[in-house]
């Protein structure tokens, strides 16, 4: 990296590897120094399947940034989107250590460790996020920050996020092969939430929906705490496949039809321009049919979304509604369908406070990698704001797994 004030993020997506380098601006925002997206076929549903192909895509991204900025990216905050992610809640109880009973940061750390140790054995899983939900001092009312209080016992309530171990190990092998040192490996969705959701939204109740190519990630927040997190293996690429089947065209043409509908919706136009398509498209194209295909698949996704909300007793009960991000959120009719199916307010997530080469990251698909950089700045430089989650110590995990890699 060029300067100590620069932070790099690496988002390993299902169809695209995205890398970005940010630095702090004079006004407290972020300057976009470099950003690049490289397509890859080595990832399926957020999980790396072919390490060599993904490592090659990362190398291409590194070389592009070096060529255009003279910055050599050697380390980054790395995001993964494991569709087999799970959450686990646990409590940890410890005695305070100071003679005067004042609770220290070490007591808080020990209570979090006790909560992890109280978990049942997680077979073939790796914890990668630790989300403190609240603390009790001597059994009193829950609070968010117990440091400085006095008491004999400290109890923490913690939500742990775990990834499927083989998927996680594949990420580490890919990073080693592409010569990227990970400052940390994070659940990418949570970093995006840290960037896109305001404290007010997280307090009154909100869902962030990251609509990717092959996965859709959902997190629900209330009282400034993560209430639940889930990933479903369905995304905008499945809509492309539906269009290909519906119109009996190749996937490339189906993707262009989908993107034409997206451009349509963004521009407020009412007709897809068929100029540039194969002439046969004009004979089979039906705009109503395209809208129906998109709407049907969105209905499937929102059915799963509503099922998750019902499971946590929040269906129709999130005042801040649902906030969309990810490349798939450009879909025509997304917000209207979400409002209808979920009975919630719906809006697009917005990125603000970015300058420099802002045009390089102009789109919701960049929210994740920018969120990873944002998390990096909070960790390394501080900003008066604490991240809404804590990660496991990456180096401890990496040293352990490297012993297992021949």
Last residue of a domain, one of 131, 161, 191: 161
Closest CA to 94 of 121, 120, 69, 113: 113
Mean pLDDT on 162-182: 93
Q: Are residues 136 and 115 in the same domain?
A: yes
The percentage of the chain sitting over the pLDDT mark of 70, rounded to a whole number, equals 87
Q: What is the CATH number of the domain that holds 123?
A: 3.30.1490.110
**Beta-bridge mates of residue 101:** none
- Is residue 284 predicted with pLDDT exceeding 80? no
- Report residue 145 as tokens: 């920050």
Element (H, E) at 322: strand 322-325
Confidence of residue 171 (pLDDT cuts 50, 70, 90): very high
For residue 217, tell me if it sits in a domain. no
Confidence of residue 34 (pLDDT cuts 50, 70, 90): very high
CA distances to 18, 163, 290 from 88, in Å = 29, 11, 40
Confidence of residue 392 (pLDDT cuts 50, 70, 90): very low
Q: Are residues 259 and 324 in the same domain?
A: yes
Lowest mean pLDDT among 34-38, 192-196, 221-225, 276-280: 276-280
- Is residue 269 predicted with pLDDT exceeding 80? no
For residue 210, tell me if it sits in a domain. no
Q: Residues 98-130: pLDDT tens digits? A: 989 999 999 999 999 999 999 998 889 989 888
For residue 113, tell me if it sits in a domain. yes
Q: Are residues 236 and 105 in the same domain?
A: no
Q: What is the pLDDT of residue 303?
A: 94
Confidence of residue 282 (pLDDT cuts 50, 70, 90): low
Q: Are residues 267 and 321 in the same domain?
A: yes
- Is residue 33 predicted with pLDDT exceeding 60? yes
For residue 219, tell me if it sits in a domain. no
For residue 221, tell me if it sits in a domain. no
For residue 205, tell me if it sits in a domain. no
Q: Are residues 337 and 260 in the same domain?
A: yes
Q: What is the pLDDT of residue 275?
A: 57
CA distances to 160, 220, 256, 286, 398 from 85, in Å = 10, 15, 31, 39, 19
Q: Are residues 71 and 184 in the same domain?
A: yes
Q: What is the pLDDT of residue 287?
A: 80
CA 105 from chain center: how many Å? 28
Q: Residues 127-157: pLDDT tens digits? A: 988 889 999 999 988 888 999 999 999 999 9
Q: Are residues 243 and 336 in the same domain?
A: yes
What contacts 41, CB < 8 A, 6 or more positions away?
A: 15, 50, 53
Q: Residues 54-63: pLDDT tens digits? A: 999 999 999 9
| Average pLDDT of the chain, as a whole number | 86
- 46-50, 201-205, 222-226, range with greatest mean pLDDT: 201-205
Q: Are residues 247 and 341 in the same domain?
A: yes
The dihedrals phi and psi of 153, each to the nearest 5 degrees, come to -130, 145
Please tell me the total count of domains within the chain.
3
Q: What is the pLDDT of residue 5?
A: 82
Q: Are residues 339 and 357 in the same domain?
A: no
Lowest mean pLDDT among 160-164, 196-200, 260-264: 260-264
- Is residue 79 predicted with pLDDT exceeding 80? yes
Q: What is the pLDDT of residue 398?
A: 47
For residue 220, tell me if it sits in a domain. no
Q: Residues 374-390: pLDDT tens digits? A: 999 888 776 544 444 45
Q: What is the CATH number of the domain that holds 336?
A: 3.30.420.40
- Is residue 96 predicted with pLDDT exceeding 90? yes
Mean pLDDT on 279-296: 79
Q: Are residues 181 and 145 in the same domain?
A: no
Q: Are residues 269 and 143 in the same domain?
A: no
Q: Are residues 170 and 67 in the same domain?
A: yes
Counts for the chain of helices (H) and strands (E), in that order: 12, 17
Q: Which domain holds residue 47?
A: 6-83+165-200+350-402
CA distances to 34, 370, 374 from 31, in Å = 9, 11, 11
Confidence of residue 339 (pLDDT cuts 50, 70, 90): very high
For residue 223, tell me if it sits in a domain. no
- Is residue 254 predicted with pLDDT exceeding 60? yes
Q: What is the pLDDT of residue 199?
A: 92
- Is residue 194 predicted with pLDDT exceeding 70? yes
CA distances to 40, 56, 79, 127, 291 from 17, in Å = 7, 10, 10, 23, 29
- Is residue 278 predicted with pLDDT exceeding 80? no
- Is residue 48 predicted with pLDDT exceeding 50? yes
């Amino acid at each position: 990296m060029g300067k100590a004030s620069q932070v790099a993020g690496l988002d390993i997506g299902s169809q695209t590897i995205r890398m970005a380098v940010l630095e702090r601006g004079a006004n407290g925002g972020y300057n976009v120094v470099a950003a690049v997206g490289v397509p890859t076929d080595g990832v399926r549903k957020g999980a790396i399947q072919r390490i060599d192909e993904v490592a090659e895509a990362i190398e291409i991204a590194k070389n592009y940034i070096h060529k255009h900025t003279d910055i050599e990216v050697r380390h980054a905050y790395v995001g993964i989107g494991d569709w087999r992610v799970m959450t686990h809640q646990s409590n940890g109880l410890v005695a305070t250590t100071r003679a005067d009973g004042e609770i220290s940061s070490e007591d808080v750390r020990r209570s979090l460790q006790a909560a992890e140790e109280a978990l049942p054995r997680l077979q073939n899983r790796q914890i990668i996020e630790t989300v403190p939900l609240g603390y009790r001092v001597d059994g009193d009312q829950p609070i968010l920050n117990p440091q400085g209080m006095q008491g004999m016992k400290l109890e923490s309530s913690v939500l742990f996020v775990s990834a499927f171990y083989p998927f996680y190990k594949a990420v580490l092998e890919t990073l080693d092969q592409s010569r990227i040192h990970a400052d940390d490996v994070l659940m990418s969705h949570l970093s995006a939430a840290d960037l896109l959701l305001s404290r007010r939204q997280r307090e009154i109740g909100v869902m962030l929906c990251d609509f990717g190519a092959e996965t859709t990630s959902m997190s629900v927040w209330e009282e400034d705490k993560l209430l639940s997190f889930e990933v479903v293996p369905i995304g905008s690429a499945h809509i492309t496949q539906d269009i290909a089947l519906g119109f009996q065209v190749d996937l490339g043409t189906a993707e262009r039809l989908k993107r034409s509908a997206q451009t349509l919706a963004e521009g407020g136009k009412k007709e897809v321009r068929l100029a540039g398509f194969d002439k046969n498209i004009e004979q089979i194209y039906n705009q109503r049919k395209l809208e129906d295909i998109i709407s049907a698949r969105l209905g499937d996704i929102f059915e799963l979304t509503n099922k998750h909300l019902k499971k946590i007793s929040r269906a129709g009960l999130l005042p801040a509604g649902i906030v969309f991000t990810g490349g798939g959120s450009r879909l025509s009719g997304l917000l209207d369908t979400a409002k209808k199916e979920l009975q919630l307010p719906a809006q697009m997530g917005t990125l603000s406070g970015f300058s420099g080469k802002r045009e390089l990251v102009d789109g919701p698909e960049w929210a994740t990698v920018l969120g990873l950089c944002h998390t990096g700045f909070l960790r390394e430089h501080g900003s008066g704001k604490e991240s809404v989650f804590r990660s496991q110590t990456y180096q401890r995990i990496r040293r352990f797994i490297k012993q297992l890699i021949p």
